[in-house]
Amino acid sequence: MKKQFELIATAAAGLEAVVGRELRDLGYDCQVENGRVRFKGDVRAIIETNLWLRAADRIKIVVGSFPARTFEELFQGVFALDWDRYLPLGARFPISKAKCVKSKLHNEPSVQAISKKAVVKKLQKHYARPEGVPLIENGAEFKIEVSILKDQATILIDTTGSSLFKRGYRTEKGGAPIKENMAAAILKLSNWYPDKPLVDPTCGSGTFCIEAAMIARQIAPGLRRTFSFEEWNWIDNRLIQEVRTEASKKINRDLVLDIMGTDIDARMVEIAKENAQKAGVASDITFKQMRVQDLRSEKINGVIISNPPYGERLSDDAGVTKLYAEMGEVFEPLKTWSKFILTSDENFEKKFGRQADKKRKLYNGTLKVDLYQFFGERVRRQATSEKGNI
Ligand code: SAH
CATH number of the domain that residue 258 is part of: 3.40.50.150
Q: Which atom belonging to ligand 1 lies closest to the Cα atom of 175?
A: 5
The DSSP result for 177-191, as a single string, is PPPHHHHHHHHHHSS
Distance of CA 291 from the midpoint of ligand 1 (Å): 9
In a domain, 17, yes or no: yes
Q: Based on the domain organization, do 54 and 200 belong to the same domain?
A: no
The DSSP result for 367-379, as a single string, is EEEEEEEEPPPPP
Q: Provide the pLDDT for residue 130.
A: 85
Nearby residues of 137 by Cβ (< 8 Å), 6 or more positions away:
90, 91, 92, 93
In a domain, 264, yes or no: yes
Distance of CA 389 from the midpoint of ligand 1 (Å): 41
Q: Based on the domain organization, do 185 and 278 belong to the same domain?
A: yes
Report how far residue 185's alpha carbon sits from residue 140's, in angstroms, rounded to the nearest whole number: 32
Ligand 1 contact, 204 CB (< 6 A): yes
Q: Provide the pLDDT for residue 37.
A: 98
- Which of residues 158, 188, 204 is at a domain's end? 158
Distance of CA 264 from the midpoint of ligand 1 (Å): 7
The domain that holds 94 is classified in CATH as 3.30.2130.30
Beta strands in the chain (DSSP E): 5-10, 30-33, 36-41, 58-67, 95-101, 143-149, 152-158, 198-200, 259-263, 285-289, 303-306, 338-343, 358-364, 367-374
pLDDT tens profile 69-90: 999 999 999 999 999 999 999 9
In a domain, 63, yes or no: yes
Q: Provide the pLDDT for residue 312.
A: 62
Q: Provide the pLDDT for residue 378.
A: 83
Protein residue with its CA nearest to atom 4 in ligand 1: 204
Q: Provide the pLDDT for residue 50.
A: 98
Ligand 1: which of 171, 264, 316, 342 to mutate, judged by most atoms within 8 Å of the beta carbon?
A: 264
Q: Provide the pLDDT for residue 82.
A: 96
Residue type, 7: L
Q: Based on the domain organization, do 135 and 11 belong to the same domain?
A: yes
Q: Based on the domain organization, do 304 and 206 belong to the same domain?
A: yes
Ligand 1 contact, 326 CB (< 6 A): no
In a domain, 247, yes or no: no
Report how far residue 206's alpha carbon sits from residue 270's, in angstroms, rounded to the nearest whole number: 10
Handedness of CA 291, 293, 297, 300 (dihedral sign): positive
Distance of CA 284 from the midpoint of ligand 1 (Å): 20
Task: Please give the tally of structural domains in the chain.
Answer: 2
Q: Based on the domain organization, do 70 and 125 belong to the same domain?
A: yes
Report how far residue 71's alpha carbon sits from residue 196's, in angstroms, rounded to the nearest whole number: 57
Q: Provide the pLDDT for residue 364.
A: 84
Q: Provide the pLDDT for residue 315.
A: 52
pLDDT tens profile 221-256: 999 999 999 999 999 999 999 999 999 999 999 999
Q: DSSP alpha helices (H): ranges in 102-236?
A: 108-126, 180-189, 207-216
Ligand 1 contact, 161 CB (< 6 A): no
C-alpha distance from residue 358 to each of 18, 258, 324, 370 (Å): 17, 25, 18, 10
Q: Which residues of the chain have pLDDT under 50?
A: 382-390
Q: Based on the domain organization, do 147 and 186 belong to the same domain?
A: no
Distance of CA 209 from the midpoint of ligand 1 (Å): 13
Distance of CA 308 from the midpoint of ligand 1 (Å): 5
Distance of CA 71 from the midpoint of ligand 1 (Å): 50
C-alpha distance from residue 113 to each of 186, 252, 263 (Å): 39, 49, 49
Q: Based on the domain organization, do 205 and 149 belong to the same domain?
A: no
Ligand 1 contact, 323 CB (< 6 A): yes
Q: Based on the domain organization, do 80 and 199 belong to the same domain?
A: no
Q: Based on the domain organization, do 58 and 144 belong to the same domain?
A: yes
Report how far residue 343's alpha carbon sits from residue 312's, in angstroms, rounded to the nearest whole number: 10
Report how far residue 365's alpha carbon sits from residue 370's, in angstroms, rounded to the nearest whole number: 13
In a domain, 186, yes or no: yes
Nearest to 62 by CA among 153, 164, 168: 153
Whether the Cβ atoms of residue 105 and residue 152 lie closer than 8 Å to each other: no
In a domain, 184, yes or no: yes
Q: Based on the domain organization, do 137 and 208 belong to the same domain?
A: no
In a domain, 385, yes or no: no
Q: Provide the pLDDT for residue 388.
A: 41
Ligand 1 contact, 202 CB (< 6 A): yes
Q: Which atom belonging to ligand 1 lies closest to the Cα atom of 204?
A: 13
Mean pLDDT of the chain, nearest integer:
93
Ligand 1 contact, 181 CB (< 6 A): no
Q: Which atom belonging to ligand 1 lies closest to the Cα atom of 265?
A: 15
Distance of CA 295 from the midpoint of ligand 1 (Å): 14
Q: Based on the domain organization, do 284 and 317 belong to the same domain?
A: yes
Domain residues for the domain of 58 are: 5-158
Report the residue count for the chain.
390
Report how far residue 304's alpha carbon sits from residue 341's, in angstroms, rounded to the nearest whole number: 8
Distance of CA 297 from the midpoint of ligand 1 (Å): 19
- What is the distance in angstroms between the CA of the first residue and the CA of the last residue of the chain? 65
Question: What is residue 92's DSSP assignment?
Answer: B
Ligand 1: which of 198, 210, 263, 343 to mutate, judged by most atoms within 8 Å of the beta carbon?
A: 263
pLDDT tens profile 283-292: 999 999 999 9
Residue type, 24: R
In a domain, 383, yes or no: no
Q: Based on the domain organization, do 105 and 186 belong to the same domain?
A: no
Protein residue with its CA nearest to atom 6 in ligand 1: 177
Distance of CA 364 from the midpoint of ligand 1 (Å): 15
